[in-house]
Amino acid sequence: MPYIPHTAKDIAKILKAVGAGSVEELFSQLPAASRLKGPLAIPDGLSEQELLGHLKSLSSKNSTIEEYSSFLGAGAYNHYIPSIVDAVISRSEFYTSYTPYQPELSQGTLQAIFEYQTLVCQLTGMDVANASLYDGATAVAEACLMAKRITGREGIVLANALHPEYRETVATYLTGTGDHLSEVLYCAETGTTLPEAIDAACTDKTACVVIQHPNFFGSLEDIEAIAEVVHRKKALLVVAVTEAVSFGLLKALGESGCDIAVGENQSFGNSLSYGGPYLGFMATKTEFVRQMPGRLIGQTVDREGRRAFCLTFATREQHIRRERATSNICTNHGLCALAASVHMVSLGSGGLRKLAELNLSKAEYLKKKLKEAGVEVAFTSPSFNEFTVKVKGGAEAALKKLLDKKIIGGLALNRHYPELGEYLLIAATEMNSKEEMDSLAAALK
């Protein structure tokens, strides 16, 4: 039997030691009438060789983004992952260990995550970051709950230009504790969330406003102007980032008046894997740290005064505080955070800047090519590596046509924005070659 080492002799030895005549005797606690008589309706076990063959054939029923030219982004980005990432996260001392409850045996994980927390602080320009959350969507939801705790207010204002699936996740999370959600529409011309629209949506009951930057349409938001409006209403500004490579170029959120920075760090070191596991991050100001959800690693010393790391601020957490915890999160996404760290570190400050510039260059080139092909760029606001275009005849029809040319042309926005039936969200990263982009533009002509 795979993975189970017992021989008949071993089983006999155990049964003798425990004074049982058979394995069944040990299940005496299970209600006799409900015990299964026959086997589960699950196929017989496969040898490892058979299993790999089966998995290969199953996976070959998928077409990868390597077989197609893909311009999909929308919260999951195709970036090159250096070989060093998998080499490090494949070390089983990292991936087969549990949450670091025993610091003496877990200094590797603890120091790596302490470094990750620091990297997130540096990217976001915030004071303090947690060890990880599940993904960008749940990170936004947790930020809303955190803002409610800090302000004692109920109202949550979401920008409509925040990722639709993030908004849906927030709505799900808030049903339990009171749903006081409202949305602010984007400006049809700029594709951004206007400060005056946010001003109109905020009341003296607003706990926080959540915007995305660059937003779901790829447009850059005027965070400083928005922060001013939000703070005037004594609410908190939550800024979500889905494309973390933008940190290499765009102004740090902490310098723009953001109170809670959250989002998705998948872009660093984590493969697309059909949507998960990804890597939620959260960073905030020192004054809010005790209201922050999720694990936190702190620096301390051991008995002999040497630098050491351990889980800290556990009194915020469920195993101590139970129903009064800041969150129910327990297992987080530690290995994804390690992968992101390794990618960031291997890029370094110069490499990250270059990578961000390269993404900008690619997107600007594609924009130019599309314009030349007569495709209308939808919004006037500047963008990073993703932008929205208007395609005559509808986005769905255009995507279908592109598939014949082995191009996945982006995301049709109509599913989430019925008013944007002709609009297509297109991302270009370092993975998209000039030829691919030329083909896309030619095909949309």
Partner 1 sequence: MEANGTKGLVLDEPLIFEKSSPGRVGIGPAHSDVPEADPSKTLPSKFLRKGIEGFPDISEMDAVRHYTRLSQWNFGLDSGFYPLGSCTMKYNPKINEAAARLPGFAMLHPYQPEHLSQGALELMHSLENYLAEITGMEAITLQPSAGAHGELCGLLMMAAYFKAQGKPRTKIIIPDTAHGTNPASSHLAGFKVVPVKTEGKGALSVEMVKAVMDEDTAGLMLTNPNTIGLFEKNIKEIAEVVHSKGGLMYCDGANMNAVMGLVKLGDLGVDVVQLNLHKTFSTPHGGGGPGSGPVGVGKALEPFLPCPRIKKDGGKFSLDFNRPNTIGRMKAFYGNFSIMVRAYSYIRRMGASGLRRASETAILNANYIKERLKGTYHLAFDEPCMHEAVFSDKFQLGSGISTMDIAKRLIDYGYHPPTVYFPLVVHGAIMIEPTETETIDTLDRFIDVMKAIAEEAKTDPQLLKDAPNKTKIRRVDETRAAREPILRWKKV
Q: Which of residues 89-148 bind partner 1 (CB under 8 A)?
A: 90-100, 102-109, 111-115, 117-119, 121-123, 127-129, 131-132, 134-138, 145
Contact with partner 1 (CB under 8 A) among 188, 200, 397, 403: 403
Tell me the closest approach of the beta carbon of residue 138 to partner 1, in angstroms. 5
* Residue 8 in the binding site for partner 1 (CB under 8 A): no
Cβ atoms within 10 A of the Cβ of 186, count? 24
Q: Which stretch, 30-38, 150-158, 184-192, 233-241, contacts partner 1 (CB under 8 A)?
A: 30-38
Q: Considering the rule CB under 8 A, would residue 241 count as an interface residue with partner 1?
A: no
Of 74 and 156, the one with the shorter C-beta distance to partner 1 is 74
First-residue to last-residue Cα distance in the chain: 60
Residues in 181-210 that interact with partner 1 by CB under 8 A: none
In the 8-state DSSP scheme, what is residue 135?
-
Q: Any residues with CB less than 8 A from the CB of 318 and at least 6 apart, and which?
A: 325, 327, 328, 329, 330
**Does a cis peptide bond (omega within 30 degrees of 0) precede residue 214?**
yes
Verify binding: residue 237, partner 1, rule CB under 8 A: no
Give least dist CB 405 to partner 1, A: 14
Q: Is 405 in the site for partner 1 (CB under 8 A)?
A: no
CB of 353 to partner 1, least distance (A): 8
Contact 385, 217 (CB under 8 A): no
Residue 64 exposed, middle or buried by CB count within 10 Å (0-12, 13-18, 19+) = exposed
Among 8, 21, 31, 393, binds partner 1 (CB under 8 A): 31
Q: Which is nearer to partner 1, 46 or 200 (CB)?
A: 46
Query: According to CB under 8 A, which one of 180, 394, 430, 443 is a site residue for partner 1?
Result: 430
Structure tokens at 85: 């990432």
Q: Which of 21, 58, 404, 418 binds partner 1 (CB under 8 A)?
A: 58
Regarding 417 and contact with partner 1 (CB under 8 A), the answer is no
Query: Smallest Cα–Cα separation from 337: which of 118, 173, 106, 141?
Result: 118
Q: Work out the burial of residue 415: count CB atoms within 10 Å of its CB; fewer than 13 is exposed, 13-18 middle, 19 or more buried.
A: exposed
Distance CA 155, CA 225 (A): 21
Q: Does 172 bind partner 1 (CB under 8 A)?
A: yes
Residue 219 touching partner 1 (CB under 8 A):
no
CA dist list (Å): 344 to 81, 152, 278: 10, 37, 15
Interaction of residue 310 with partner 1, rule CB under 8 A: yes
Min dist. Cβ of residue 343 to partner 1 (A): 9
Strand (E) positions, 356-433? Answer: 376-377, 386-390, 407-408, 411-412, 423-427
Q: Which helix (H) or strand (E) holds 343?
A: helix 334-372
Q: x/- site string to partner 1, residues 331 to 370, per CB under 8 A?
A: xxxxxx-x---x-xxxxxxxxxxxx-xx-xxx-xx-----
Give whichever of 39 and 393 is closer to partner 1, judged by the CB atom: 39
347: closest CA among 76, 81, 75?
A: 81
H helices of 152-247, where? 164-174, 195-201, 223-232
d(CA 324, CA 320): 9
52 touches partner 1 by CB under 8 A: yes
Smallest distance, Å, CB 31 to partner 1? Answer: 6
Q: Which of 84/442 has CB closer to partner 1?
A: 84
CA-based nearest residue to 89, from 352, 310, 270: 270
Q: Which is nearer to partner 1, 259 or 264 (CB)?
A: 264
CA distances 356 to 342, 350, 352, Å, are 17, 10, 6
Whichever of 63 and 203 has its CB closer to partner 1, that residue is 63
Q: Which of residues 247-276 bind partner 1 (CB under 8 A)?
A: 247-252, 255, 264, 271-276
How many residues touch partner 1 under the rule CB under 8 A: the total is: 203
- Structure-token match 């030219």, residue found: 69
Nearest residue (CB) to partner 1, 153 versus 213: 213
233 belongs to the binding site for partner 1 (CB under 8 A): no
In the complex with partner 1, the residue whose CB is nearer, 62 or 204, is: 62
Quick check: 297 binds partner 1 (CB under 8 A)? yes
Our finding on whether 82 is near partner 1 (CB under 8 A) is yes
**298, 308 in Cβ contact below 8 A?**
no
User: Which residue type sits at 372?
Assistant: E
Q: How far is CA 247 from the centre of its chain?
A: 15
